[in-house]
Amino acid sequence: MKRREEMTFSERLYLPEILKGLAITNYHFVRNFALNFAHLLGFAKARRASATVQYPEERKRYSDNYRGSHRLTIRPDNSVRCTACFLCATACPAQCIYIEAGEAEDPHIEKFPVRYEIDTLRCIYCGLCVEACPCDAIRMDTYVHPRIWGFDRKDFVETKEMLMHRSRVIAKDGREGNMNEMLAWYREQDARIYDPLRPELRNYTERALAKDYEEPDEPVNLPVIERHPARG
Ligand code: SF4
Ligand code: SF4
């Protein structure tokens, strides 16, 4: 954003800028309206009407500083780099990291995480865990957004293996690897749920609406949430 002293006279008047913004909005409205109408009549099919990205069939490449998902880095011997020091869990403002430490076999390493879990429904993707880690064991450079894992809170808890897997995917398939794997997984879920008698359920995110999801009468067992009681 420009500071006031950097603005031109026309920008300081505001009205020309507002009119410019309205002109752009109206241009896209009229263009899309005309192109959609032409498409209905069978004309100009090659010209695309809407600028909206038709996710997941299409997607934009995330920027290099996008931080949408965690991974645990691994050592050359394929073991987890994390030493279970708990600094990330301590720094986490959402209290969504759960670690259980065990004694490492390597005498040079004191501990390793027997369990390392992130409750992605509680995570606010602030990156403080990455900042806090003294040994570069957790990163958020996976170029993928949080995954819809299921329809139960506990489905969204990512385990140590899941988090390490992302590092292996990046090493093997590069920066697009995790996103490609996630989209392939969504397509697999779509294919599984596809019911020719219920075409409205084709979309993965819609499958919760009718056939598969019922509100439980009793509260479900949520062990991960119970591990993080609210601060007193
Ligand atoms: S990104 Fe923030 S909220 Fe999420 S696990 Fe890390 S520290 Fe916690
Ligand atoms: S990820 Fe880093 S900060 Fe968190 S427990 Fe492991 S070594 Fe410590």
Condensed to tens digits (0 to 9), the pLDDT of residues 19-46 reads 999 999 999 999 999 999 999 999 998 8
DSSP assignment of 44-102 equals: -TTS----S--TTTS-PPPPTT-----EE-B-TTS-B------HHHHH-TT--EEEEEE
Q: Which two three-digit tokens encode residue 111?
A: 């501990």
pLDDT bracket for residue 225 (50, 70, 90): very low
The verdict on the CB of residue 92 being under 6 Å from ligand 1 is yes
DSSP designation for 61: P
Q: Which domains does the chain have, with CATH numbers?
A: 8-52 (no CATH), 71-226 (3.30.70)
Using the atom order of ligand 2, give the atom closest to the CA of residue 132.
Answer: 3
The verdict on the CB of residue 129 being under 6 Å from ligand 1 is yes
Give, using CA atoms, the residue closest to atom 2 of ligand 1. 126
Say how far apart CA 49 and CA 26 lie, in whole Å. 14
pLDDT bracket for residue 218 (50, 70, 90): low
pTM: 0.71
